[in-house]
Amino acid sequence: MLYLKKLALSDGQDIYNMLQEISSNDNGFHNKVYGMTFDQYKIWLEKEFAIDNGKLENWMVPQSSYWLYDNTVPIGYGRIRHCLNDALRETSGNIGYAIAYSKRGQGYGNSILALLKEKCVELGMMQLQIGANANNERSNKVIIHNGGVLIRENNGKNFYCINLTK
């Protein structure tokens, strides 16, 4: 059974191990935990939990972070930005996600994006922007499969719009 679990302070070794399978810049998804010690991960987790709960710096927008689980095994990491500022609108989007390297090519990308879209609907979001490196064929296919319509290309990156319905 696939499901999303919200990031929590109690997240432990299984999440840490999964994050070690996602590089620090995985096709544009930034994973700051890659290469950290477990103790450093716990400090990062506290900061990320605070951000998810509204402790934002001036340049940040509200966000929610989730782990994709397949039964009891963490598979991937997803983040929803509830809105976009000018910088994010130009360079990124509302959703970012990555799947652990050992789990790629098994359909989890389609699943995490579909589940993250459901969370966006719950948040009252009506439209999403999502970006993918133009040379990342798999990610572009996942976005299109999930309703993405190409709206622009810029500096080797494709930007898609996904309209949500309640």
pLDDT at 105: 93
The enclosing domain of 69 has a CATH number of 3.40.630.30
Q: DSSP 3-state assignment of 72?
A: coil
Q: DSSP 3-state assignment of 148?
A: coil
Per the structure, the complete domain to which residue 18 belongs is given by 2-126
Q: Is residue 120 part of a domain?
A: yes
pTM exceeds 0.75, yes or no: yes
Count of other CB atoms within 10 angstroms of residue 1: 6
pLDDT for 166 beyond 70: no
- Count up the domains in the chain and report the number: 1
pLDDT digits (tens, 9 = 90+) for 82-100: 999 999 999 999 999 999 9
28 confidence band (pLDDT: 50, 70, 90): confident
Q: Is residue 165 part of a domain?
A: no
Q: Is residue 82 part of a domain?
A: yes
Q: Is residue 72 part of a domain?
A: yes
Q: DSSP 3-state assignment of 56?
A: coil
